[in-house]
Amino acid sequence: MSSRFDELRIFTGNGNPALAQAISARLGIPMGDITVTTFPNENIFVKLNESVREKDVFVIQSLASPLSDRIMELLIMLDACKRAAAGRVTAVIPYFAYGRTDKRDQPRVPITARLLADMIQVAGAQQVITLDLHAGQIQGFFNIPVDELSAMSLLVRYFSERAWNDVVVVSPDMGFAKRARNFAEQLGAPLAIVEKRRIQQLALSETHEARVEARSLIGEVSGHRCILVDDEISTGSSMLAAADLLIAQGAREVYAAAVHPVLAGTAAERLRDSPICELVTTDTLPVAPEKRWPGLRVLSVAPLLAEVIQRIHSGVSVDTIFRHRNPALG
């Protein structure tokens, strides 16, 4: 099908260039020529080194570390595309940061996820593609189309290929229970849920080890292989506390699956040295070589994002991708 826009072009900043390259290779188009650099005074400078007039532009930027710089790069790239008269500008944000600051759950706090959504729109995004938001309702912080995809099916497929018949899927907290249930249904496995409490929300220790307590377990795990599943691993504390509880309750082996490998501070080291046999994640965020260990498996979301970009460019529905990924939504 032909597009109502001119040529498809993709650009990236420094959020996750390897993922952007993989998407571009999959689409069979070269990366757009762009300069994204920082002046000595810390001002970020962006220049599109090719015309985007009337083109269908996709700006790929994962909100990785250093986070504030990556956010500014994204905003400035969007602004550059808008001012260069692009036909349409789509922000492709594989990992949307600040998703956990999505409500006023204590006095005098901001809703930073909403602020970020506002900034992305003001900068020039006309639509957004993202993956596994911390909460689906964040879609509604935007007044432009948001296609939220899920990489959960990649993780499900990875484990279903193991053909284990003694698996229990475990949600590391109540908040993720519904999505963990969908994961369990797709694997044909039962579900267990950990009751998690965060002891220290704001002031993290020097090692960024957020204090988390896994208090109790709903479900039976004794003698089973457990797969802990979550949207992201930040400090790793949620997964580690849950893994210890599962081992204490007689689990045979513990695996972990999470879409977004934030791996803040010493998370990688702590996970490597933990009872978790294997952590399966994706490349929505870059994982530095020093944060990799033999038990870390990174699956690529590039084919999924490339397909969605191609469909959106061609004006073809992405509905079948959503259905395929989440047959058990409800």
* Residue 25 · residue 300 · CB < 8 Å: no
* Residue 71 · residue 15 · CB < 8 Å: no
Nearer to ligand R5P, 13 or 236 (CB): 236
Q: Which of 113, 184, 189, 212 binds ligand R5P (CB under 6 A)?
A: 212
Q: Which of 87, 236, 261, 265 binds ligand R5P (CB under 6 A)?
A: 236
- Give me the least distance between CB of 286 and ligand R5P, in Å please: 17
Nearer to ligand R5P, 175 or 295 (CB): 175
Three-state DSSP class for residue 40: coil
Beta strand 44-48 with 34-38 is antiparallel
Give the count of alpha carbons within 13 A of 210, CB side only: 20
Convert residues 10-29 into a mask of x (bound to ligand R5P by CB under 6 A) and - (unbound).
--------------------
Q: Tell me how far apart the alpha carbons of residues 251 and 167 are, in angstroms, rounded to a whole number.
A: 10
- Give me the least distance between CB of 178 and ligand R5P, in Å please: 12
Residues with active-site annotation: 196
Ranges assigned E (strand) in the chain: 8-12, 34-38, 44-48, 56-60, 88-93, 127-131, 146-149, 167-171, 191-198, 212-218, 225-233, 253-261, 276-282, 296-299
By CB under 6 A, tell whether 217 contacts ligand R5P.
Answer: no
Q: Which of 130, 234, 266, 284 binds ligand R5P (CB under 6 A)?
A: 234
Tokens (6 digits) for 275: 């009872």
| 110 burial type by CB count under 10 A (0-12 exposed, 13-18 middle, 19+ buried) | exposed
By CB under 6 A, tell whether 237 contacts ligand R5P.
Answer: yes
Which has the closest alpha carbon to 169: 156, 158, 151? 156
Q: Which of 102, 132, 147, 230 binds ligand R5P (CB under 6 A)?
A: 230
Question: Stretches 31-39, 54-62, 117-125, 224-232: which one binds ligand R5P (CB under 6 A)?
Answer: 224-232
- Give me the least distance between CB of 205 and ligand R5P, in Å please: 12
Q: Which of 233, 254, 296, 305 binds ligand R5P (CB under 6 A)?
A: 233
Nearer to ligand R5P, 82 or 198 (CB): 198
By CB under 6 A, tell whether 153 contacts ligand R5P.
Answer: no
> What does the binding site for ligand R5P look like in residue numbers (CB under 6 A)?
172-173, 175-176, 210, 212, 230-238
